[in-house]
Structure 1
Amino acid sequence: MPLTQEGAVAPAVRSLLVWGLLAGLVGGVLAFGFASAFGEPSVAAAISLEEAGSEGHSHDTGHSHGEEAEVVPRSFQATGGLAVGTLAYGVGLGGLFGLATAFAYGRIGSASPRGTVAAVLGIGYPAVVLVPFLTYPANPPAVGSGDTIGERTGLFFGMLGISLALAVAAVVVARKLVGRLGGWTATLVAGVGYLVLVTVVAKLLPTVQEVPVGFPGALLWEFRIASLGTSAVLWGGIAIAFATLVQRGLTRAE
């Protein structure tokens, strides 16, 4: 049975939201650890390249503008700032995860609580993370022009919104086809349709290529893998912690 009720929110929905926030905290801690170990070294290397390039340019032109004071020290960015960012994002994502599970539970066939969490993960991660990332991958410092950051941000979130909308449409289509094709075939047809449509959209959207000539390909690859790995750890940590809480809580309630 769906957890939502007409004109009100079932108590179980509030529990799912709380469990989602707690799971988000767990996921944020895990993501912080992963980003510190695997992401920060590539960020530091990219910043060193950027600073070396700036110094070389000032020497070549014979002018020195002096060192600009950092608004937030790099040492804090790599520690406290990273921790605050990942934990805040994790808690927010965990809350959304809880709300999505509350809506999906009882509406995806006869899936168990853990099965519903797995479905939310299986739909949400590709739609929200993988597809936008593959279309407009993350870049380290020293890559990308400050003049185009607004355009690049808009394109990324535009792709994210389109991907999520198409994923929701795919779920609706799959539900309508279940009666005629069966669960497996309906899911496969809807999934293939989603992949075809997001591929077409990605091809139609403007491309962004601002990696400077001579930038180390290995460093760029390392940074992007670390970025994708951090998001995978975050989503995976949330899903595992949340599924554990949900299965225990809802099973006991029923």
Structure 2
Amino acid sequence: MKQIVARGALAGLLAGVVAALVSVLIVERPMRAALVIEDARPAAPGARGGDLFSRPTQVVGGMVAAVVVAVLIGIVFAVVYRWVAERVHRQSAFARSLHLAAVGFAAIVLLPMVKYPGNPPGVGDPDTVDQRTNMYLSLIAAGLVLAVLAHWAYRALAKRNWPGPMRGVVAAGGAIVLAGVALAVWPANPDPIPPDVPAALLWQWRLASLFELAALWAALGVGFGLLVDSSARRWAAGQRAAVAPT
């Protein structure tokens, strides 16, 4: 278990570095554009002017935070992987890691983002922060419950000797239907989009943020899979040797 957790932390570290680089190279541009719009607005009465930290300091702090959070996610990922590996034996370790990363991304990132897509700075009423946070976290919890239910459904169908592809279609289809119900039932975002925020900037921010999280989960799944699957490591080493200059 200690080795699995250590590999999860290492994979999380690598994934955090990938996410931090994506943040700087892709997310930072719409972030700065949104900050310009926010700074151009009239200051609220009694508000303090200026930021406590400079923008470069904020960028470095964000990168460090991304790495730390990714390491914690990697540790949890490793624990869940160990639980799944004890119950799913037909897949390779690398395939299990990719599968688990895909499920984690769908439940923790994609589902809540469909209902509550990310907004840049300057969008959102500070008085509704707690309400919006609770709605977002509750939808993540619902996504995790759906993932567990899909896993149980898949195993239940396996005990009835259903074919593998059919089990996957039924379990995934049921989860998608229930996810649609959750999206319809959960309350909408209470905050309107300010008129001074261009739609192009809004969607540029949302897509960039989604890409950052997708890169994190993809790097986590691939990195952890390579660390726990010796055959995958040998294949990767062979690929590197094949492209290395002679």
**Residue 247 of structure 1 is aligned with which of 204, 229, 232?**
229
1:77-96 aligned at under 5 Å gives the runs 77-78=58-59, 80-96=60-76
Displacement of 1:237 in angstroms is 1.1
Task: Describe the superposition over 1:180-220 as per-residue Cα deviations: whole angstroms up to 9, x where unpaired.
Answer: 42221111111111111111111111101421124201100
Partner residue of 1:173 out of 153, 160, 174? 153
Distance 1:211 1:185 in 2: 43
Contact 2:150 2:172 in 1 (8 A): yes
The TM-score normalised by the length of structure 2 is 0.88
The match for 2:32 is 44
- Structure 1 residue 236, shift from structure 2 partner: 1.0
Instruction: Give, in whole Å, the separation in 1 of the partners of 2:20 and 2:97.
Output: 23
Report the 3-state secondary structure (helix = DSSP H, G, I; strand = E; otherwise coil) of the residue aligned with 2:41.
helix
Q: Please state if 1:16 is matched with 2:42.
A: no
Q: 1:148, 1:67 → 2: CA distance?
A: 20
Give the 4+ runs in structure 1 shifted more than 3 A: 64-67, 249-252
Q: Closer, same or farther in 2 for the Cα pair 1:66/1:114, shift >3 Å?
A: closer
Partners of 2:232 and 2:172 lie apart in 1 by 29
Alignment: residue pair count: 232
Could you tell me which amino acid in structure 2 is paired with residue 151 of structure 1?
Answer: Q
CA distance in structure 2 between the aligned counterparts of 1:110 and 1:233, rounded to whole angstroms: 27
Gaps of 5+ in 1: 1-12, 59-63
2:117 is matched with which residue: 137, 141, 144? 137
- Identity rate of aligned residues, in percent? 30
What TM-score comes out, normalization by structure 1 length?
A: 0.86
Contact 2:9/2:72 (<8 A) preserved: yes
- Cα separation, 1, equivalents of 2:71 and 2:15: 8
The 1-side partners of 2:123 and 2:153 are apart by: 40
Q: Residues 159-198 of structure 1 correspond to what in structure 2 (within 5 A)?
A: 159-178=139-158, 179-198=160-179
- Is residue 112–residue 139 contact of structure 2 (8 Å, CA) maintained in 1? yes
Q: Quote the RMSD (CA, aligned, Å).
A: 2.0
Q: Does the alignment pair 1:229 with 2:211?
A: yes
Counterpart of 1:207? 188
* Pairing of 1:115-134 with structure 2 (within 5 A): 115-134=95-114
Aligned partners of 2:20 and 2:67 also within 8 Å: yes
Q: SS where residue 140 of structure 1 aligns?
A: coil
Other-structure match for 2:240: none
Corresponding residue of 2:239: none
Q: Name the structure 1 match of 2:127.
A: 147
CA distance in 2, matches of 1:196, 1:66: 46
1:105-124 CA-to-partner distances (Å, cap 9, x unmatched) read: 14124111112112211211
